[in-house]
């Protein structure tokens, strides 16, 4: 799964990287401890208006929820079942998005049950596959999203059995629906050589922790 991440790229750099028009309510960056239910940066595509960099709640809210907390917190969507699950099947066809991250965290447990965090990253900003949804009335509308995950590749399996789907830059348009059909073929594990990881301080176990030291080698 993907339950915590870091984003250090400034807004204007994200705008340039994704060729996207920015909204005026983007979350603060850098943020080394992005947690579920907070607002995050999301890139959407639109045939009429082009790409936009917007703010959305991390935690997908299905249209039938009476309140945003009416059911389970859906921060991830499994690629293997996303097309069949009622919560995600429409979004995976028509409302796909990219979620920029500098890296993300996963945890392992030792024999005593202690959770040890690891920071997984690449040499460049990663664009995670996501799906999004509008919920509520026009007067009180909430946009929310989930990260698409898949089975881990051999490298990542040393830390966790699943990983977020990473979309290559050449495929951003396909995932966003700008280049016709075929997005389903992108829901696979990243190449082995893309990601690196190192252990970090257990301070990040707290969702209130902050600061660049969270991603430093422990």
Note the pLDDT of residue 1.
73
Note the pLDDT of residue 116.
95
- List the CATH number of the domain containing 198: 3.90.1680.10
- CA-nearest of 91, 80, 104, 102 to 176 is 91
The range of the structural domain enclosing residue 169 comes to 5-215
Give the chain's residues under pLDDT 70: none
Note the pLDDT of residue 144.
98
- CA-nearest of 91, 98, 133, 130 to 19 is 98
Domain count, the chain: 1
Note the pLDDT of residue 180.
83
147's tokens: 């990260």
Note the pLDDT of residue 59.
98
Contacts of 22 (CB under 8 A, 6+ apart): 11, 14, 15, 52, 53
| φ/ψ (deg, to 5) at 32 | -90, 5
- 118-139 pLDDT per residue, tens: 999 999 999 999 999 999 887 7
How many residues does this entry show for the chain?
218
Note the pLDDT of residue 162.
97
């Amino acid at each position: 799964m993907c339950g915590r991440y870091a984003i250090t790229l400034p807004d204007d750099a994200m705008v340039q990287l994704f060729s996207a028009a920015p909204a005026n309510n983007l979350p603060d960056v850098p943020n080394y401890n992005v947690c579920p239910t907070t607002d995050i940066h999301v890139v959407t595509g639109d045939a009429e208006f082009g790409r936009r960099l917007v703010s959305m709640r991390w935690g997908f809210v299905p249209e039938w929820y009476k309140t945003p907390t009416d059911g389970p917190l859906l921060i991830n969507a499994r690629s293997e079942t996303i097309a069949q699950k009622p919560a995600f099947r429409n979004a995976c066809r028509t409302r796909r998005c990219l979620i920029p991250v500098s890296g993300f965290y996963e945890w392992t447990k030792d024999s005593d049950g202690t959770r040890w965090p690891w920071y997984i990253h690449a040499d460049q900003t990663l664009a995670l596959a996501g799906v999004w949804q509008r919920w509520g009335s026009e007067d009180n509308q909430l946009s929310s999203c989930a990260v698409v995950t898949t089975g881990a590749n051999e490298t990542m399996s040393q830390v966790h059995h699943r990983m977020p789907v990473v979309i290559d830059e050449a495929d951003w348009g396909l995932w966003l629906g700008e280049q016709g059909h075929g997005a389903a073929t992108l829901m696979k594990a990243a190449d082995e050589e893309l990601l690196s990881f190192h252990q970090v301080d257990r301070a990040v176990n707290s969702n209130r922790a902050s600061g660049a030291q969270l991603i430093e080698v422990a």
